[in-house]
């Protein structure tokens, strides 16, 4: 039998690298896209040891012709659409780029699938940020969206594009409303990676202070290599549906700091400062999830919660520092 063909947009990111590894283990032929594949080094794929096994293509999701040419060439059975500006904080500085890369990029993929007429299934990486402020109530698939950042607005638009093409044209198209998920592949512009890196440096005697924004914000933090399995499971179902993917456990950023510094034998309050100048224009105070539908129907359930995630991040960072 021929190997199933999968195309991953945004394969250079954290989720793209882990998903490529996961699909290769399931004997897929894996293709991935980047704006300029010839110039990108793909450090995540390299780190996981799978770079040589992935077919790479240059594709610009905001250019319909580019998308159409790539889909005609690859003819994927499954598309995992992970590409787009992925930083909530950066979206306040680059709102137009964020909307273009997320909403227009998603629309181009959906329209190309419809135009070509191939039986292609598409997974779209939505975001827990779509829910916005739920006033502490856990978000489920039916929870109304109240986006509070340009990134969240863009993800909401893309989510409804997927729903529209599913209903109007019968595409097998679904969205994963993923809550925060971490790994050693996270760059330090993400606050979790920033905290772990600083804790390890301070434990080695750097003498620095870690400067953060609001320590009272709470998030549901999971383990990225587990979450890519949920993406795959969504595309294996008989009918397309959207799913919340999370651990179901919410912790504050202060809890995350405490755990990271405890892993290196330090009291976090002695090394961390909060500064109002780092607060976002409209930050979410609490992000909480109810991933019951995923547990029941995919079936999928997170195995690691925040303490296990932090412990693994610190161990991996310490291994890197010793290398």
**Positions marked active-site:** 127, 129, 151
Q: What are phi and psi of 289, to 5 degrees?
A: -130, 155
Query: CA 301, CA 26: separation in Å to the nearest integer?
Result: 19
DSSP string, 204-270: TT----EEES-TT-EE--EEHHHHHHHHHHHTTSSS---EEE--S--EEHHHHHHHHHHHTT--GGG
Using DSSP, state whether 282 is helix, strand or coil.
coil
Show the beta-strand stretches assigned E in the chain. Answer: 5-9, 29-34, 55-58, 78-81, 121-125, 172-178, 181-182, 210-212, 218-219, 222-223, 243-245, 251-252, 272-274
Phi-psi region of 108 (alpha: psi -120 to 50; beta: other; left: phi over 0): alpha
Using DSSP, state whether 154 is helix, strand or coil.
helix
Give the distance from CA 6 to its chain's centroid.
Answer: 18
Count other C-beta atoms under 10 Å from residue 40's C-beta: 15
């Amino acid at each position: 039998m021929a190997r199933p063909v999968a195309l991953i947009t945004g394969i250079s990111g954290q989720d793209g690298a882990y998903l490529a590894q996961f699909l290769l283990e399931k004997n897929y032929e894996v293709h991935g896209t980047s704006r300029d594949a010839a110039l990108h080094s793909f450090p995540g794929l390299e780190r996981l040891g799978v770079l040589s096994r992935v077919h790479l293509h240059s594709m610009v999701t905001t250019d319909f012709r580019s998308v159409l040419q790539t889909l005609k060439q690859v003819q994927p059975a499954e598309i995992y659409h992970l590409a787009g500006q992925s930083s909530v904080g950066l979206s306040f500085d680059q709102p137009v780029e964020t909307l273009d890369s997320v909403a227009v990029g998603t629309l181009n993929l959906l329209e190309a699938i419809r135009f070509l007429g191939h039986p292609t299934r598409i997974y779209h990486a939505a975001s827990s940020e779509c829910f916005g402020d739920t006033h502490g109530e856990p978000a489920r698939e039916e929870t109304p969206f109240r986006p509070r950042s340009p990134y969240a607005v863009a993800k909401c638009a893309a989510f409804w594009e997927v729903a529209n093409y599913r209903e109007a044209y019968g595409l097998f198209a679904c969205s994963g409303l993923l809550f925060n998920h971490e790994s050693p592949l996270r760059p330090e512009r993400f606050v979790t990676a920033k905290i772990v890196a600083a804790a390890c440096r301070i434990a080695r005697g750097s003498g620095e202070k870690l400067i953060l924004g609001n320590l009272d914000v709470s998030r549901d933090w999971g383990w990225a290599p587990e979450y890519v399995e949920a993406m795959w499971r969504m595309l294996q179902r008989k009918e397309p549906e959207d799913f919340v993917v999370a651990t179901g456990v919410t912790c504050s950023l202060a809890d995350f700091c405490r755990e990271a510094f405890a892993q290196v034998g330090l009291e976090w309050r002695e090394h961390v400062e909060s500064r109002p100048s780092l607060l976002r224009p409209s930050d979410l105070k609490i992000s909480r999830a109810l991933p019951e539908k995923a547990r029941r129907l995919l079936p999928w359930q997170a195995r690691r919660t925040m303490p296990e995630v932090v412990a693994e991040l610190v161990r991996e960072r310490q291994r890197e520092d010793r290398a």
